[in-house]
Structure 1
């Protein structure tokens, strides 16, 4: 019997083209299975969000992406609204959430929330680009809760700085939890809980890196394969040599409450 040819490893060009071709809408990260891993925070944001949704009467999910996290809640309040600023995600979230009775509103990330004062007793968000505390406080009812998982300072900067070079200290300090606490309190909210963790990430091929940077666009603004081909090639060689590229994400959990006498 003739020997079967041994499978060949994908080339650098094959991997880059594969990662570049994957659709980026929504917040479904299942494509990364077997290609990248990220440890999860100990607090279980989706579980905590679902518990609070089950008790709420009117809820708002800010920057919902494709609606995947909100849709994971077994029960949604009768009045459930989600905002999203990127048109492909608006369409995806609408298709996902409308059958459950939730309304999706197209709203730019930096625009005022298009809702009345005190409209919601629960506001949630997973990885907002920025928390607009005055707007969050405004749309919450007295006694209402903001429950969210934020991206912390210098998150995945081992990867980011491979492409950008060293970033200044003020950039590395952005999203610092205690600074966000002060901003939330200045907007009139009381902090119930604030927890932070740093979590290991591993990238097993350069296709995963390409897709990650195209999907999470604020990591390396303006990222394209052509613009960063030398950095991608050196990263590919490093992964082949070391088995993976290791970085660390930063996450913090926020629970804040609007005082009942507000």
Structure 2
């Protein structure tokens, strides 16, 4: 696929990447065209282990349900929330046959569940983590497990299109620890890694930016055609475009009463 893409014209690559669907949270269209280094801790495995021991679980911002659908053994009560209508449809199709309740939610507090409803809450790459709400819906002794995107992820790609950007700390792991503790949770595990993301053709970049809309806000191939042409020529002359992402794993527990 990489070799084939290298031979294709700029216009062909742009047209193809603009026409493909970006619904859901499945990136398999990028196979052979882009690679993303994965964190060493294996979030899906950790999630599956905790799901197998839980009685009632909530997966927040489930996307199209891709990660939750891969869990071999789900709790008797499993609920997933999602806000984007196309993803809600995909998640329902994947998860409802397995007995998962898929709830449309706007990702803002309050979560539409009673206090202490779950002994496990999970979320992979949440847009925002509402720690007080996580603590509220957890039972005493229950845990929250999440893999989050760190600050400045794929910043090289953002700055290629938009120029130098301020480097914020809103997604700093230690800030997440402090927020969890402020909500009354005990942080059990916190790990951070810097990982490479490699794009082999400009079509892969277009697809990625159409799907991950916060990397270059307001992106469209028409709006950034000159930059895309420059990037295509650069990849042709120098090889793949490499950017770096940060990920951190956080696990926290709601203490039992004294």
| TM-score bucket (shorter structure) | over 0.9
Matching residue of 1:113: 111
Matching residue of 1:122: 120
Matching residue of 1:4: none
SS of the counterpart of 1:28?
A: coil
Matching residue of 2:182: 186
Distance in 1 between residues matched to 2:108 and 2:232, nearest whole Å? 36
Q: Does 1:259 align with 2:255?
A: yes
Q: How does 1:1-150 map to 2 (within 5 A)?
A: 9-150=7-148
In the TM superposition, residue 242 of structure 1 has moved relative to its aligned partner by 1.4
Q: Does 1:166 align with 2:164?
A: yes
Matching residue of 1:3: none
Distance in 2 between residues matched to 1:120 and 1:94, nearest whole Å? 20
Unaligned runs of 5+ in 2: none
Q: Structure 2 vs 1, CA of residues 8 and 92 (structure 1 numbering), >3 Å: closer, same or farther? A: closer
Deviations along 1:29-66, one digit per CA (max 9) or x if unpaired, are 11111100011100000000000000000000000000
Unaligned runs of 5+ in 1: 1-6
Give TM-score, length-normalised by structure 1: 0.94
Distance in 1 between residues matched to 2:109 and 2:13, nearest whole Å? 38
Distance in 2 between residues matched to 1:139 and 1:21, nearest whole Å? 41
In the TM superposition, residue 233 of structure 1 has moved relative to its aligned partner by 1.0
Give TM-score, length-normalised by structure 2: 0.96
Q: Is the contact between residue 81 and residue 104 of structure 1 (CA under 8 Å) also seen in structure 2?
A: yes
Q: Does 1:204 align with 2:216?
A: no
Distance in 1 between residues matched to 2:224 and 2:109, nearest whole Å? 32
Q: Is the contact between residue 154 and residue 174 of structure 1 (CA under 8 Å) also seen in structure 2?
A: no
Q: Structure 2 vs 1, CA of residues 237 and 8 (structure 1 numbering), >3 Å: closer, same or farther? A: closer
Q: Is the contact between residue 6 and residue 236 of structure 2 (CA under 8 Å) also seen in structure 1?
A: no
The number of residues matched between the two structures is 254
Distance in 1 between residues matched to 2:132 and 2:20, nearest whole Å? 37
Deviations along 1:139-171, one digit per CA (max 9) or x if unpaired, are 0001100001000111000111111111113x3
- Structure 1 runs (4+) deviating above 6 angstroms are none
In the TM superposition, residue 209 of structure 1 has moved relative to its aligned partner by 0.4
Q: Is the contact between residue 59 and residue 121 of structure 2 (CA under 8 Å) also seen in structure 1?
A: yes
SS of the counterpart of 1:154?
A: coil
Distance in 2 between residues matched to 1:215 and 1:26, nearest whole Å? 9
In the TM superposition, residue 8 of structure 1 has moved relative to its aligned partner by 9.0
Q: Structure 2 vs 1, CA of residues 164 and 110 (structure 1 numbering), >3 Å: closer, same or farther? A: farther
Deviations along 1:91-112, one digit per CA (max 9) or x if unpaired, are 0000000000000001012242
Distance in 1 between residues matched to 2:217 and 2:253, nearest whole Å? 33
Matching residue of 2:213: 217
| C-alpha RMSD of matched pairs (Å) | 1.3
